Chain A
């Protein structure tokens, strides 16, 4: 499927720093999902968002469904070494039936 524009592509940060990443599309989304993929593993769901403007937290993670419905943001506060991995945004655009689009991923490295 079409790839969502996700940025940044990669991040190298010090342990304890906060992290921000985002996902944008030219299409309108009704659902935004954020996944994390550890090396050699399948993606695991972190947060699901279902409404424009929605702000949802899961521990140190906070995600927002953009008001335009064309973007979403993920923040990680006080990063720790186990946050290392690739973070993907995903969702079904309004006009594509059931097909999911996936972001190209943000690779996060946390330096202890």
Chain B
């Protein structure tokens, strides 16, 4: 079974803080993704990566950056958290190939005060 873990289930941060969200997978998948999920807006792609040290912007990359130093780990960074970044953040992994299933982590619910 694919296992995707996220470093925190719940986080509370203050405006302006730097926030790290980490995702780790144990299935040797090449592709990893970060989404945010908001009521009424569904899942929106922030960044994705197809290989180590590789990253691509998704639909809403503003205010975020990512890091992929090892194949199994994909980090999402909020350089200076803002209240409009309060959301549910979901990491997903995928074996190489667009037709392959994406597997999701349990999510991190972030509240920025």
B42 & A104 in contact (Cβ 8 Å cutoff): yes
Chain A min CB distance to B27 (Å): 13
The answer to whether the Cβ of A112 comes within 8 Å of any Cβ in the partner chain is no
Per the CB 8 Å criterion, the residue count for chain A at the interface is 25
Contact B44–A1 (Cβ < 8 Å): yes
Any chain A CB within 8 A of the CB of B59? yes
The listed residue (A1, A35, A41, A105) touching B59 by CB distance below 8 A is A1
A48 within 8 A of B: yes
Q: Looking across the interface, which residue of chain A has its beta carbon closest to that of B39?
A: A105
Q: How many A-B residue pairs have CB under 8 A?
A: 54
Interface bits A65-94 vs B (CB < 8 Å: 1, else 0) = 000000000000000000000001010100
B109 touches A90 (CB 8 A): no
CB-CB contacts below 8 Å: A37-60 with B: 40-45, 48, 50
Chain B residues in contact with chain A, CB under 8 A?
Answer: 4, 9, 31, 33, 40, 42-45, 48, 50, 58-59, 90, 94, 97-99, 101-107, 109
Residue ranges of A at the interface with B (Cβ–Cβ < 8 Å): 1, 3, 30-31, 33, 35, 40-45, 48, 50, 88, 90, 92, 97-100, 102-105
